[in-house]
Structure 1
């Protein structure tokens, strides 16, 4: 994969780095030779990314040519919106306050060169901002008003870097390009690069260690270079062709930020950000499934104005769900009006809307795995010992979850399979796990999970390693189709 530093004037970049070509913007935009390059990373160091400027077009046409641009057009647009800047950087507010706490002035400018600053004390903050806004040169402006606020973050024109910073700039650039992240040798050995996002500290991840190993082995047989990454590797996403998230997802979480950034960078992503948004909010799911006439237990969207009607609508006991609940957490059963009032007050203090459902006890829930709008596996998840849910987080360690039974499709009732597929296909064509209750010959969807469990010895008990291979083949097919579109 060729590496090109694109500048308005070659004199702007007086640094010779092995395997890195310096090209002026006009030549990159107009010379047919660059149009024909099938694989390239473009480091856009133009003086301006203003709309319809040459710098803007470098990133825009790089995307059209199937090249990877840093920054890409999405980042360029994000930098222009103060609302987006505030929203994206909100999660690092604690780091901002800590890093700038000793400053006496009311204004501060932080110059970030390839993720670093000339002052060591701002190293962490510089890296975090570069991770969020992947552009080679950035200038962050902070103001103090009771606390430090990021007022703006903008690209630094390469010709405006102070002369006394050039030595550090070139040192940072050499270190940046020298890393394995852009190694030609590695990329040429495999067809595509796959990142699998995991959390080694997670006590109950969606895939156990043996399953992750099986995913990696399946990927290798299909020609992938595969690497396990963690939340610390956000800045490395542009190295890969696809991201497979094997960490429990949530919107207000780094998993969503990874999915969003990967999707914006043109990577194939499972779970994609749209699926995460749709699946992780129970209010959205209830509305979506009801509108599509997919059977669900009797439900109501509860808010302050109708919470006095819950008993009348659902009876007691009933189930209350926080919008972003998952793996039985944030889901409670209330038996009395006193319990109901207490839980409603607590949940409505956090969210304007919550879900209430009638209590529908069963010995087990069906879990139908769905990929590419087709059934992938079927399991019965039995309730935890002496509990009404699959997971009992307050129980003894050995009793946290119930037993399971993996079932061939011919043993799954047709109405269960049909209902699960209809629900999953409303979300998209990704990898989903649909939880269904079977009651009196009818199927009722409990939820659609965007990040379903794929554990060695559980979901793979019937398909064995073919389960992993099927998922990886889907990822490869998605990349192939995307490449064809880019070249057409």
Structure 2
């Protein structure tokens, strides 16, 4: 991928130009007579100002119009220019602010960030986190302390605003940034696509194991995708790709949500899309939408602090209590007595103003129906963990007791009413990839939840379809990329 470093005065750029990329002036890039290629160009906009309708603003705007991948993009510029936008930083970054600045004695602090780095090692993690949120080459963040540290503003810096004593470090940070093998060489086959698969190698029981991930890679390569595994630090790079496939457990107040949201804003084909994450992640939403669509679910109550006892009377005991954004059985508990119910809801209502309560429906297994773009893809039976009432027993110290057995069926061999109900439920969420969990009581289905990020492990969900399962998911991404490109040509 060709790299252009766009500056007001190329003579001001001090690094080795041959290694960094081609250094050109802002005026040159804005010149309509210049024959810039449409694809395969990465632009680093180091203009003096990104203010609205300044030349720096137009560099990023024209880069997007030309099909170039640019940093910062116009959305980042708008975020940096928007008053009060920094109030909405994610919880994990907020926690990092408190940790990083804990030893600062004054009530004000300024953090300079050069290509995601800061001079002080103790602030490196915070610098990287802010760079992921606001991918711009040079940033200055201002913090103030009240009852706790608050981020009061972030703005982009120009080259001539960098203090002389920071220049050497900035040069080193820039060299480290450009020397990373981030940008693959420009392909001679321009019709190929770039797919990013977001993973977390440290995650226990991730949505796909290594073998399944490699089968997704094989499917992608056969369908014309170049594939790269990315992690949370690769947020600034999303614009380099045509599609994003998230294979890390998703949550709304989490970097997976930010990846999905930004990918969609950049026009990438994305599974899981942000609407699906938002809808599936919150069990309050699921309960309401399933009830409204007359899809059968266990007796369910949305519990508020002042209405706990009436809800219990309607639910009965034992009952299941769920934090709204619980996943993979985390944040889910069973109350056997009224005292246990009150204790559990007390604890859960400290984190959320609403809690979900459901009648306890004992079964030996749960159905899982995988649904892709509104059509059934696979069907599994997940049996309860040994000696436990759930599929996963997170308290288990032994791997053999952690999860139950499974049985995979062909879609045609599964009970039709189970499959039909799952498909109806999934279509309420969107056109992505979903795993619908159901219980079967006296031959009738009850939808328990809908997962936007269902497990696909080698030898489990793919036991019937084999490689065809992976091909189907990648084909869905390719259709979306093709549709976008077709729309661009019109």
Where do 1:39-50 residues align within 5 Å?
Answer: 39-50=40-51
Asked if structure 2 preserves the Cα contact closer than 8 Å seen for 1:319 and 1:332, the reply is yes
Measure the CA separation in 2 of the matches of 1:118 and 1:320. 47
Distance 1:369 1:77 in 2: 39
Residue deviations 1:459-486 (CA, integer Å, cap 9, x gap) = 0000011111211222222222223333
Map 1:52-201; keep pairs closer than 5 Å: 52-81=53-82, 83-88=84-89, 90-119=91-120, 122-184=123-185, 191-201=192-202
Q: Give the match's secondary structure for 2:306.
A: coil
Deviation at 1:37, TM superposition (A): 1.6
Distance in 2 (alpha carbons) for counterparts of 1:177 and 1:115? 12
Q: Distance in 2 between matches of 1:31 and 1:15?
A: 27
Deviations 1:225-263 (A, max 9, x none): 323333344444344332222222222333223323333
Structure 2, gaps ≥5 residues long: none
In the other structure, the counterpart of 2:283 is: 282
- Is the CA contact (8 Å cut-off) linking 2:108 and 2:144 kept in structure 1? yes
- RMSD (Å) for aligned C-alpha atoms: 2.7
Partner Cα separation in structure 1 for residue 326 and residue 373 of structure 2 = 25
Please tell me whether residue 413 in structure 1 is matched to residue 409 in structure 2: no
Describe the shift of the 1:106–1:187 C-alpha distance in structure 2 as closer, same or farther (beyond 3 A): farther
Over 3 Å counting, the alpha-carbon distance change for 1:250 and 1:121 in structure 2 is closer
Segments of 4+ moved more than 6 angstroms: 186-190
Shift of residue 380, structure 1, vs aligned partner: 1.5
Q: Deviations over 1:331-362 (max 9, x none)?
A: 22223222222222222222111111222222
SS at match of 1:184: coil
2:352 — aligned with what? 351
In the other structure, the counterpart of 2:463 is 461
Q: What's 1:372 paired with?
A: 373
* C-alpha displacement of 1:274: 2.0
In the alignment, which residue of structure 2 is the partner of 1:486?
488
- Identify which range, 37-46 or 279-288, moves more after superposition: 37-46
Within the candidate set 436, 446, 449, 2:448 is matched to 446
Paired with 1:101 and 1:393, the residues of 2 have a C-alpha distance of: 33
- The residue aligned with 1:28 is 29
Counterpart Cα distance in 1 of 2:155 and 2:391 = 49
Alignment correspondent of 2:392: 391
Cα deviation, 1:384-425, whole Å, max 9, x if unaligned, reads 233332223334531222221111121222222222112111
Map of 1:5 onto structure 2? 5
**Structure 1 equivalent of residue 205 of structure 2:** 204
* Residues 134-153 of structure 1, C-alpha deviations (whole Å, 9 max, x = no match): 00111112233354332211
Query: How far apart are the structure 1 equivalents of 2:58 and 2:104?
Result: 39
Deviation at 1:119, TM superposition (A): 4.8
Instruction: Report the CA distance shift for 1:366/1:21 in structure 2 as closer, same or farther (over 3 A).
Output: same
Matched, 1:473 2:475: yes
Tell me which of 382, 401, 404 is aligned to 2:403. Answer: 401
Aligned partner of 1:424 in structure 2 is 426
Partner residue, 2:230: 229
Equivalent residues of 1:302, 1:355 under 8 A apart:
yes
| Counterpart check, 1:303 vs 2:304 | yes
Is the Cα–Cα contact under 8 Å of residues 28 and 58 in structure 1 kept in the other structure? yes
Give the match for residue 292 of structure 1. 293
- Assess if the C-alpha contact under 8 Å between 2:90 and 2:253 holds in 1: no
The offset of 1:102, in angstroms, is 4.7
Higher mean C-alpha deviation, range 260-269 or range 445-454: 260-269
Q: Distance in 1 between matches of 2:90 and 2:35?
A: 35
TM-score if structure 2 supplies the norm length? 0.90
Shift of 1:457: 0.9
* In 1, Cα distance between equivalents of 2:328 and 2:106: 47
What SS does structure 1 have at the residue aligned with 2:326? strand
Tell me the distance in 2 between the aligned counterparts of 1:139 and 1:7. Answer: 19
> How do residues 196-275 of structure 1 correspond to structure 2 at under 5 angstroms?
196-275=197-276
